[in-house]
Amino acid sequence: MKTADPELMRAINRFTILDTIRRHGPISRIEISERSELSTTTVSAITASLLDDGLILTRHEGDLRDVAVRGRPRVMLELNPDAARVVGAKIASNRMTFVVTNFKGEVRSALTLDLRVDRQPIGVIADLIEDGVRRCVVDAGLSLDEIDSVCIGLPGVIEHRTGRVLTSPVFRDTEVNFAAEMTERLRTATIVESDAHAVTLAHHWFGKARDLNDVVLVSLERTLGLGVLHDGQLFRGAGGLNHNLGDLVLGMGPEGPVRLSSKAGESAILGAHPAASRFAEAIQLGRGMQHAQGLIEAEDNALVSAAANAGEAVGIALANIVTLFAPPRIIVLGSSLMLGKPFLESMSTAYAAAMPPSLKNVAELVFDHSAEEIWAQGAAVVALCELYESPWGTTGPAQGL
């Protein structure tokens, strides 16, 4: 009988303990053993190594000077916030958001730049991202030499293993090895990640999935993204590919497959309205959804109908996701939520109708209207995952905390 690789087992145990401290610290060694189901001997050995590496700190509960207190003060363990510093970036067609965080994921500085970057040459986009990273690092009172890793979150289809961007609405080129491009420019290890995956991890660390190890996130932006977290790990497809939810087939039509993007994508929704000059300009500037929100409130029939159709398609897609994964919670976020009542009511009705009776009460739907910063913070979490020395690494089928 083949025995387990001892180095892999040690890496798994080290990761488990570090993540337990992150989630529950300050925490004692006994509590770590109870929560992780690892022996006290294993916990003591690994926490000693983590202390030597400067990744965790000790904190004493109780007053060492109070001789009236019986017994020794409890030694609690917590992450060392200064163990690492990373940059996370969220790049959209009309906006770039950057954050610098410490090892605990706490934001040290944030920067948002409103400018249209889509369809620019790769070199121009890289210049803008480099400038944004450097400015945010300076705002944090640091230099780039003090940054351990950078992660850039992009919409589209990303191969996490290699950092190649297969397709993205931000780029006019395909098959771009953007991780290599930015690593060379910044001279800092740079990861490129799906923005939907990044924000899924952000919600697991800080947001609406902190209490869960299994969750699905649906991103309704210019592209439709999906993040699936199982047993605390982010699921990835072959080669580390992310999921493009917009490619989901809802049925067959006269011209072939009817995909979710053709019903609920931003282009499908905004294209339902006549291209009046003001609306066309708003779309070009990346503010089409905000403008559509006002028109829907004014009862523009074309957009009300488009929003309802999009909501119905998303509701069916959500029901299919629950049928496949049965997650306890689905987090829905993105600019499509601006469409308001016609979209949300149609989505809820279709979701309820499409759900199998046996799964009707399995998943909780949660809507998130967070600011752009959480997307960039999620990218920073991806970078931190690498520094946490996950045993699955950057090349495995799953990654996450």
Place of tokens 């609306």: 279
The pairing of strands 56-61 and 74-79 is antiparallel
Instruction: Using a cut of 0.85, tell me whether the model's pTM lies above it.
Output: yes
Question: Can you give the pLDDT of all 401 residues of the chain as single tens digits?
Answer: 445 577 778 888 888 899 899 889 899 999 999 999 999 999 999 999 999 999 999 988 765 445 555 556 789 999 999 999 999 999 998 899 999 999 999 999 999 998 888 878 999 999 999 999 999 999 999 999 999 999 999 999 999 888 999 999 999 999 999 999 999 999 999 999 999 999 999 999 988 998 888 999 999 988 899 999 998 888 888 777 888 899 999 999 999 999 999 999 988 888 766 666 566 666 666 677 777 788 788 888 888 999 999 999 999 999 999 999 999 999 999 999 999 999 999 999 999 999 999 998 899 999 998 767 899 999 999 999 887 765 544 333 333 33
Structure confidence by residue, pLDDT tens digits, 58-74: 988 765 445 555 556 78
Contact between 98 and 133 under an 8 Å Cβ cutoff? The reply is yes
The residue length of the chain stands at 401
Structure confidence by residue, pLDDT tens digits, 116-157: 888 789 999 999 999 999 999 999 999 999 999 999 999 999
